[in-house]
Amino acid sequence: MKITGIKIRKISESGRLRGIVSVTFDDVLAVHDIKIVQGEHRIFAAMPSRRDENGEFRDIVHPITASAREEIEDRILRAFEEECIRRGIPISG
């Protein structure tokens, strides 16, 4: 599957949650609520998740392989960075 669209839905200039994006694959499948999070060492993309009956968060959608995760995250972060630059917003907080 190829990424055919990335929509930046929200950008925050402060706090750990830096943004929310939607990604479209092959123009037929959309994944919403992917979060851009400022971690301790880097910004990363967190897949949509929900709390299970034990109180733990579990991904609802996620890449199966490390290479797929890396490719998806790279594309998301590149689109996020480009949008931040376009809006004049600092990338790291």
CATH for 47: 3.30.1120.40
Q: Which domain holds residue 52?
A: 3-87
Q: What is the pTM of this model?
A: 0.90
Residue 92 within a domain: no
* Residue 91 pLDDT: 77
Task: Give the residues of the chain that fall short of pLDDT 70.
Answer: 92-93
Number of domains the chain is built from: 1
**In this predicted structure, what is the pLDDT of residue 14?**
87
Cβ-based burial of 60 (10 A; exposed 0-12, middle 13-18, buried ≥19): exposed
> Quick check: is 93 in a domain?
no
Separation of alpha carbons 36 and 18, rounded Å: 5
